[in-house]
């Protein structure tokens, strides 16, 4: 059986978990924190989560895992068949990660773990966010899904990026992504109805509660 290593507060972990559920895979979740444990480094070379273990070995890097999931289950597609549209989904996935996820992630230490955050860093992150949001607004379709009429991996990546990253952006910078990305609010409401997303979120919320001390 497939094994998914990580923990359910991680947005990257939840992107993969939602994809596995959406595709109807049976899988075991193995709770692991990222880090330098040699046993985990043998599976995930950077010690990062998620890591997917299959019969042949382990795979890391969320976008690579998602592509692998697609390769082994093409009968329930989460990527379009047409090459150009496939590329546009991948462009949206990569842009979401580079220009939203990794930008917001610079605030995680301060927002979730009490690290200091100076005004210079806030301004720098805010300026990067301006560019990222403008770029995403050019790519996002919301017709009704992120890349068009069908649910794709771009939706799963965007959903977990804007829910966790958006929280960090709001807390640290006082900016609401839903006010800056037209259509985001309606799309989030649509995604919230998806049973795979709901299942992932139940576990996420329980884990978050435990992490915050009940």
Ligand X SMILES: N[C@@H](CCC(=O)N[C@@H](CS)C(=O)NCC(=O)O)C(=O)O
Quick one: tokens of 115? 């690290």
Give the single-character DSSP code of 5. E
- Told to check if 12 binds ligand X by CB under 6 A, we report yes
Give the single-character DSSP code of 163. I
Q: How far is C-alpha 111 from the chain's CA centre?
A: 18
Q: CB of 154: closest distance to ligand X in angstroms? A: 14
- Told to check if 10 binds ligand X by CB under 6 A, we report yes
Which stretch in 17-25, 43-51, 128-136, 150-158 sits in contact with ligand X by CB under 6 A?
A: 43-51
Residue pair 7/13 in contact (Cβ under 8 Å)? The answer is: yes
CB closer to ligand X, 12 vs 159: 12
Lookup result for tokens 């610079």: 106
Please give the Cα distance from 154 to 19 (Å, whole number): 11
Q: One symbol per residue from 55 to 94: x for binding ligand X (CB under 6 A), - otherwise; what is it?
A: ------xx--------------------------------
Quick one: tokens of 162? 């804007």
Residue pair 89/157 in contact (Cβ under 8 Å)? The answer is: no
- Told to check if 48 binds ligand X by CB under 6 A, we report yes
- Told to check if 43 binds ligand X by CB under 6 A, we report no
- Told to check if 170 binds ligand X by CB under 6 A, we report no
- Told to check if 34 binds ligand X by CB under 6 A, we report yes
Please report, as ranges, the residues that interact with ligand X according to CB under 6 A. Answer: 10-12, 34, 47-50, 61-62
């Amino acid at each position: 059986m497939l094994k998914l290593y990580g923990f359910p507060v991680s947005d990257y972990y939840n992107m993969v978990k939602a994809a596995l559920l959406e595709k109807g895979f049976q899988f075991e979740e193995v709770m692991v924190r990222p880090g330098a444990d040699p046993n985990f480094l043998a599976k995930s070379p950077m010690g990062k989560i998620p890591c997917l273990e299959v019969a042949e070995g382990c795979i890391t890097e969320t976008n690579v895992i998602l592509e692998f999931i697609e390769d082994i289950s093409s009968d329930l597609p989460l990527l379009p068949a047409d090459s150009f549209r496939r590329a546009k989904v991948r462009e949206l996935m990569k842009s979401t990660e580079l220009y939203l996820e990794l930008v917001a992630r610079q605030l995680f230490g301060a927002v979730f773990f009490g690290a200091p955050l100076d005004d210079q860093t806030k301004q720098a992150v805010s300026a990067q966010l301006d560019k990222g949001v403008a770029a995403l607004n050019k790519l996002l379709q919301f017709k009704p899904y992120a890349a068009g009429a069908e649910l794709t991996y771009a939706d799963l990546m965007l959903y977990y990026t804007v829910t966790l990253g958006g929280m960090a952006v709001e807390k640290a910078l006082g900016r609401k992504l839903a006010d800056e990305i037209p259509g985001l609010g309606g799309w989030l409401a649509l995604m919230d109805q998806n049973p795979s997303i709901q299942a992932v979120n139940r576990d996420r919320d329980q884990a978050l509660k435990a992490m915050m001390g009940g």
